[in-house]
Structure 1
Amino acid sequence: MTNATVELLAKDLNHQGGVFCPSPLAKMEVANTHPKVYLDVARTGQAKCPYCGTVYKLKDGEHFDGQH
């Protein structure tokens, strides 16, 4: 487990308000980490990957409105 925290800008989220892990935003090589999982960050402002423990969270002051 990495237990890293990745701060995200609203523009880093997809149109549904989430990200996939592993992610280049977390400086991960997709081929040697774990299966790709979708994490809903917009719902609570953060989400933790069940495989590696990386936490993806919106940077303070960022708000997701689904309009990007």
Structure 2
Amino acid sequence: MTTATSTPTAVVELTAADLNAHGGIHCPHPKAGMELWNSHPRVFLDVAKTGEVACPYCGTVYRLRAGEMVGSGH
């Protein structure tokens, strides 16, 4: 009998200043600590929309720190 084991998902806490002008972030991101040789293609993720988003490639979760406000940019 074999059992499935899962790798813990990395969670990266962000401030509003970490986001780009559109409220997004890219993964891999320096805050995630991913090595360049072991990374996946860059993907842009919309964090401002819900306050949290998971990378479809590696599963890293990017989350706004509690109390952080994202401006509308206008």
**TM-score if structure 2 supplies the norm length?**
0.82
Alpha-carbon distance between aligned partners in 2 of 1:34 and 1:2, rounded to the nearest angstrom: 18
User: Which of 42, 45, 50 is equivalent to 1:44?
Assistant: 50
Alpha-carbon distance between aligned partners in 2 of 1:58 and 1:14, rounded to the nearest angstrom: 13
Runs of at least 5 residues in structure 2 that lack an aligned partner in the other structure: 1-6
User: Which of 19, 22, 26 is equivalent to 1:16?
Assistant: 22
Alpha-carbon distance between aligned partners in 2 of 1:47 and 1:10, rounded to the nearest angstrom: 14
Equivalent residue number for residue 62 of structure 2: 56
- The one-letter amino acid paired with 2:27 is C
**TM-score if structure 1 supplies the norm length?**
0.89
Considering only CA atoms, is the larger Rg found in Structure 1 or Structure 2?
Answer: 2
Of all paired residues, the percent bearing the same amino acid is: 55
- The one-letter amino acid paired with 1:56 is Y
CA deviation after TM superposition for structure 1 residue 66, in Å = 4.2
Higher relative contact order (CA closer than 8 Å, sequence separation 6+): 1
CA RMSD of aligned residues (A): 1.4
Runs of at least 5 residues in structure 1 that lack an aligned partner in the other structure: none
- The one-letter amino acid paired with 1:50 is P
Question: May I ask how many residue pairs the two structures share in their alignment?
Answer: 67
